[in-house]
Structure 1
Amino acid sequence: MRIVILGAGYSGTALALELVRSRPHLRPTLVESSARFGPGLAYGAAEERHALNVRAGRMGAFADAPNDFARWAIGTADDVFAPRPAYGRYLEALLEAAHERVERVAGRAVAITPAGNEFTVRLADGRTLAADHVVLALGNPAPARPRFADAFGEYWVNDPWDAVARNKLAGRDGAILVLGTGLTMVDVVQSLRAAGHRAPLIALSRRGLLPNIHRAPRAWPPFLDDMHGAPLAKIVRRVRDEVDRAATQGVDWRQVLEGARPSVQALWRAADPATRKRFLRWLRPYWDVHRHRLPRVPAVHVTRLRRSGVLRIEAGRIIAAERARDSVRLTVALRGGGEIEHRVAGGINCTGPDHDYARSEDPLLQQLLRDRMIACDPFGLGLVVDTAWRVVDGLGKAQPQISALGPPTRGAVWEITSVPDIREQVAELADRLLADVPA
């Protein structure tokens, strides 16, 4: 079977390695536009100061060896938050160990077309690949570009991981707007300071919420297994009751959230569209800051910057942006009421990936949508897939020869961003693909 995997970040790399672990004679093909196979954007564009937000002991690439990364990174304890580039090097090492068993093709896929019982994958340079099965392991897309960004001209950085553009801003006098107050904001603030930026930093989001901080882990048993299909308000009450009960035993709410985690995907699958919509509108920001937490070191850094007045966190939205010589004058409507004006020298988009593929400019996604080979999640959370990770087309039919993996499947399960979540999905998809491959 000729399996072509589009995207060689963690998702695609882990699947290719999982396939050849079970079938050494199988030779899956990884296609990667950056020509760097393994790290992807998450671990390839990061700096050594950027820490993983999952402990090393849980970051193994394979479901049956969760502490493999900690063993590989000699001297790294299981409970350490290792540098993100180290994880990228780990993935590269795993691919190197696989040698020629995984074919690597540097290029950007721009089209997938049926050709009898197979598919032809066309690359931007005109090359083509024949495939019996195509896996869309596309990773996280870029943030949506806000309308006011045009006022910034060349001093707006829409890709927060573009180090060249980011450092160009760091060298400018004047405050910098950081749009978003989540984990990406923390990384970008650290990078700007390391690059020499000493003027104020203004981090803005609708609610001004910062990620919470990790604490020492302690097991808490799952407690939401009987809530599938329950009203959202009832689920929230159960979580709050469990937090209160845990507090009487001296257990932190973070551990209760870990007890809820095994049920999240099943809860999401069982939720009707109205419940999903309600969650996304009212609870999503609070889920994000409680679920996706910060290691202590970067959290302390952010706290110090806030206390010194260098970093300012604001809750509100930009209602006007006007270019004035070498700066931009912003008018912000504050969440609690009133307005405030800022004059900034540049801005960086840290709002997170835009999974609404209906507005994507990627030529591959545009072609697949145009030909109705894929369908977009109604809430803008990626692609529609079935429970076996098969892509559902524009007519509502699952395509047995096209699968999706990782962040593009968020609409189906909600929680599918961290390595522990994705590697379980990798194992499931690998089992399905290998069912038709002789041992």
Structure 2
Amino acid sequence: MRDILPADKARRESLLAIIRERYRAHGFDEIETPAVEDYARLHAGIGGDNEKLSYNILRRGLDAEAIESIGRAIGQAADNMAQLSDLGLRYDLTVPLARFYASNRGQLPTVFRAIQIGPVWRAERPQKGRYRQFMQCDIDIMGDDSARAEAELMVASLDALAALGLDGATVRVNDRRVLDWMLDTFGFTADERPGVLITIDKLDKIGPDGIVAELRERGATASAVDAFDAYLRRPQTMEHRPYGEGQIRKALPENAPDEIVAHLVGIGEAVAAGTEAADIPLVFDPFLVRGMGYYTGTIFELAHPSVSYSLGGGGRYDGMIGRFLGQQIPAVGFSLGFERLADLLEPVADAGSRAIVLVHDADVPLAELIAHKSALMAHGRVRLERRAKNFKALLERSATDGYNAFATVSAGAEPGTLELKPLS
């Protein structure tokens, strides 16, 4: 968890403002949910490994006996911890959104497009681009089971990235139903699939040989591993390809389900129309897994050639809202990895904004000083600074803080007569 200094805070807010503006332009409406959710909801088995990383909140009003039980519960099963905690900090924005929709459905349109931007918390090992408190930027569509929903999310997110100055991004696309069908076709049992998917997710790191070796070490069904090995060694399986029906079918084993392929193709056609790009900014990746347990269909990740890690992702989670509502509602979402984007992007300059440092002598009367500041505020934001011996260092620090102009004032000057000079 970090303190954020003024210049970096201003930079982050400028990036968030651009993201918000582009998402709103695509018809999404911003909502807000609490930082705290019920313990049972956060530990319902739909958050994957993130459930293990959640910050739990002890029940209020525990007596001495209950406090003693805390010590005994440490290291015991998670269900014992549920007796001590009734709330927790949200580890993502999707679980709270599902609860929000179930609670407020009567006041929302049939197809609801939501923006959620806010902090989440995970008790994981911090590293570059990964923190225990971090900002998420999500857009979600509820009530639409067609390919239009995925296409809208992808087009809006790619548009936001372009507005941030990050060109050349692509979206890797797959479908959890494709993965289930492939594993069933190869002969993996239902019990083996979670472990097999964990291994497949390492393909970029350990390669096909490493994948096959690990599956054999896991003791997966030998004939299934052999079939998967043969599939990996087909030239057309691993090649990079443009996005389209022929390429999707070519990448998969024979007789891929027509309904799923048609859904994926529809997404590509819509994104191509929405982005007006020479090449569809999508890549079909039959080995994309994504670890969240609530995904039920299309899954995707945001990639950029300048970095080896993803800059966001999401997928379809049609079964989640039904857990709270008792009625199945289709839903799909896209989350930008804001912290990684903020580390990667340069500040976005606003040519029309002025941030002025008003440098004053010590003998300028207070009333005059405030009058000068009020006059300059018609041109932008203004910060007062008393003239220092090292005038150059004062200006350099002001520039670092995001100011782009300065003026100097002495006693007796008339308000509105000061000369603005650029800080460069």
Tell me whether the two structures share a fold, i.e. TM-score over 0.5. Answer: no
TM-score by length of 2: 0.24
TM-score by length of 1: 0.23
